[in-house]
Amino acid sequence: MIKTYTPSHFEIFDKCPKQYYYRYIQKLFLPQKDDFTELGNNIHALIRYYLQGDNIEHLLKNTSSEVLTHWNNIKSHPIMGLESIALEWGFDCHLNDNNWLRGQIDAVFYDKNNSKYIIADWKSGKNIPENPPSAFQCMIYLYAFFNAQKDLGLNFSHNDLEFQYIHTLNNSLSPSPVVYSQKKEEIYKKNFIEIISKIEKLEIMPQIKQCKDKKCTYSALC
């Protein structure tokens, strides 16, 4: 059977296998407390329309002051001056055997002065991972985009690709880019396969002796 994993699968399993069991095995899809907000959705949409060349003036006139504040910051970010080569790019990337990685990248830019491809992920809140190089979203996006280059008619080396979280309100909150490498590709693939192997063995509810996550959606069930 084909199995498809998203960054959320790996993030949740890594955080708590019991939470993974509730969500993906028992399929208890309770509302997540950190899911996309309306603010984030509106900013993502504005950026996409702008980058694909649509006239967004009527949207700006009818949007909230909060969204406008984010927009006025992000529109002057240097990355917005680069060539965008993919917007909300969805992928299914083969990993091994019957396992695939799935996701959707907000935007990919090409910096021709430095010959770099930059995967951008917009963040409008405080949900930027503390350590972007170890975030599954970062690892999966780098792995998938690099491996899709032939399908996309591109030809570049590992070091020509980087991933960057970009805060839409405050540029100083955007962490440094994560540059890809051959070594990272090997490590990422090994990590993905190892975590899938652990997920495949998760047949019964795992026992967690102590849980400090008082905000967990499933705390009432645990």
Which positions lie near ligand SF4, rule CB under 6 A? 16, 18-19, 22, 208, 211, 213, 216, 218-219, 222
As to burial, measured by CB atoms within 10 angstroms (0-12 exposed, 13-18 middle, 19+ buried), residue 60 is middle
Q: Which is nearer to ligand SF4, 7 or 133 (CB)?
A: 7
Q: Which is nearer to ligand SF4, 30 or 173 (CB)?
A: 30
Q: Show the CA angle centred on residue 130, arms to residues 127 and 134, nearest 5°.
A: 110
Beta-strand runs (E) in 146-188? 161-167, 178-179
Q: Can you count the helices (H) and strands (E) in the chain?
A: 7, 6
Q: Tell me the closest approach of the beta carbon of residue 211 to ligand SF4, in angstroms.
A: 3
What is the DSSP pairing of strand 161-167 with strand 178-179?
Answer: antiparallel
Q: Tell me the closest approach of the beta carbon of residue 95 to ligand SF4, in angstroms.
A: 26
Q: How far is CA 105 from the centre of its chain?
A: 6
Q: Tell me the closest approach of the beta carbon of residue 111 to ligand SF4, in angstroms.
A: 40
Q: Which is nearer to ligand SF4, 2 or 220 (CB)?
A: 220
Q: Tell me the closest approach of the beta carbon of residue 214 to ligand SF4, in angstroms.
A: 8
Q: Which is nearer to ligand SF4, 152 or 208 (CB)?
A: 208
